[in-house]
Chains A and B, each alone.
Chain A
């Protein structure tokens, strides 16, 4: 119940294409779903996050789609650019889960390569 399953493990997309990464969770107590972007040699950085009271959130070229009934959420990167090449992690957490502020359970990551 504590797992967050992420797919695909790796993804190659042409410049200008759409990158789609999917995640699934089981614990219905989760109420916070962030996506982190990690470049080699750097720590993960928050990209975008969603709470289950909305089905979609968009920030620039990045969109999270959330399906509460299916317990799935996905990251869409529109007009993918070579600078988007990085590893992307989905995560899930909840206020009060695992602590007063809630720790995050991370997926295993997706390595995205955007070809020029």
Chain B
């Protein structure tokens, strides 16, 4: 079974530029998560999708971050404009989305450096 795929693996941009990350979850997984992991900290949830609907985006900085999962499969996370403090690893995870089976499987992440 293929794992969660993310691209690109690394991205370097200057502040105020825009950037987009892509995630392809495990086949059949209804729930998709985007996390931000700042160096030396645990992952922090940004947004959670159930199929193509948003379940929780309470910690997403909506003035600059946006995410979509149009067909309930792939997802993109965008930052526009980027700030220095957005430098982090952006992790995508997916789960079956069934009650009692919320094991989350993570991709390798995209490491973003904002200069």
Binding site for B on A (CB under 8 A): 4, 6, 32, 34, 36, 41-46, 49, 89, 91, 93, 95, 98-104, 106-109
List B residues 22-78 near A (Cβ within 8 Å).
Answer: 31, 33, 40-45, 48, 50, 55-56, 58
Given A89-B43, A109-B41, also A104-B100 (CB < 8 A): no
B31 touches A101 (CB 8 A): yes
B100 touches A95 (CB 8 A): yes
Residue B87 lies at the interface, judged by CB distance under 8 Å to chain A = no
Given A43-B4, A102-B102, also A107-B42 (CB < 8 A): yes
Docked Cα-Cα span, A91 to B33, in Å, equals 15
Q: Which residue of B lies closest to A96 (CB)?
A: B99
Interface size counted on chain B using CB atoms at 8 A: 29
Set of chain B residues within 8 Å of A36, measured between Cβ atoms: 106
A32 touches B102 (CB 8 A): yes
Docked Cα-Cα span, A84 to B99, in Å, equals 31
Set of chain B residues within 8 Å of A98, measured between Cβ atoms: 45, 48, 56, 58
Docked Cα-Cα span, A91 to B42, in Å, equals 9
Query: How far is the CB of A102 from the nearest CB of chain B, in Å?
Result: 6
B108 touches A103 (CB 8 A): no
A95 touches B93 (CB 8 A): no
Set of chain B residues within 8 Å of A89, measured between Cβ atoms: 42-43
Docked Cα-Cα span, A95 to B100, in Å, equals 7
A45 touches B100 (CB 8 A): no
Set of chain A residues within 8 Å of B103, measured between Cβ atoms: 34, 46, 49
Docked Cα-Cα span, A99 to B103, in Å, equals 15
Given A89-B42, A109-B42, also A44-B106 (CB < 8 A): yes
Partner of B55, one of A4, A49, A100: A100
Set of chain A residues within 8 Å of B55, measured between Cβ atoms: 99-101
B4 touches A106 (CB 8 A): no
Instruction: Name 23 A/B residue pairs within 8 A (Cβ), A-sorted.
Output: A6-B42, A43-B4, A43-B109, A44-B91, A46-B103, A46-B105, A89-B43, A95-B99, A95-B100, A95-B102, A98-B48, A98-B58, A99-B48, A99-B50, A100-B50, A100-B55, A101-B48, A101-B95, A101-B97, A101-B98, A103-B56, A107-B42, A109-B40
